Amino acid sequence: MTMLKHFLVSAAAVAGAAALPSQSQASEWGCQVLLCLSGDWQGTPSCHPPIYKLIAAMEAPGFNWPTCPQANSSAAKFEKYEDCPLGWQAVGANSDRPGMGQERNICRISSDRLTLPVVLKNSGLGGRDGDGSRQVQIEIEGKVVTATIQTSGNDKGHSLANGPTYYTIARPMRGEPWFIEYDDANGMRQKSWFNLNMP
């Protein structure tokens, strides 16, 4: 954050000399937002005013995310879920019957691709559900999670005896679901994740 701060301060000084007052103010706010959100804004009292202003502005019609031209920052983007573990695919709950705009809130892997470090911990948790699925405990990247073993259904939603078998887990949600991209002092593109939870 220190390198970014020095870069923004020097760039803002150069750009501000030629900017119109309204442009300069917008740029200054955008750079404050970028600087604060690339660090611990909740724990930095001086960041509270520009970020509170941002949160309030987001409720207004026609809101545009304030950017920092000096750092070539993007508008913020939102990604609710973490990436699935390596080898797993993000799918919707009704992946066998896909629909438009379906939320990909599940991670899935076919049974023939289930390899270490995923280890079956306990295959005796409960009986089979009505759709032929059953729950197990597996270890993924050092964490034990509940997974469902399920045979793929046909187009009427019925389980197929000889259909492909999958392991599915709930897709982890991000603690910091927003991100901004910007150029650092060396011209390298960076991505900074953050949340907008009030301290």
Is pLDDT of 197 > 90? yes
For residue 181, what are the β-bridge partners?
191
In the prediction, which pLDDT does 81 show? Answer: 96
**Residues 88-145: pLDDT tens digits?**
999 987 765 544 567 899 999 998 887 755 665 554 544 444 455 678 888 888 888 8
In the prediction, which pLDDT does 162 show? Answer: 59
Counting residues of the chain whose pLDDT is more than 70, the rounded percentage is: 68
Put residue 158 in one of left, alpha, beta given phi > 0 → left and psi -120 to 50 → alpha: beta
**Residues 50-78: pLDDT tens digits?**
999 999 999 999 999 999 999 999 999 99
In the prediction, which pLDDT does 101 show? Answer: 61
In the prediction, which pLDDT does 29 show? Answer: 94
Model pTM?
A: 0.68
Of the two residues 88 and 159, the one the predictor is more confident about is: 88
Q: What is the DSSP string of 136-176?
A: EEEEETTEEEEEEEEEPB-TTSPBPTTS-EEEEEEPPBPSS
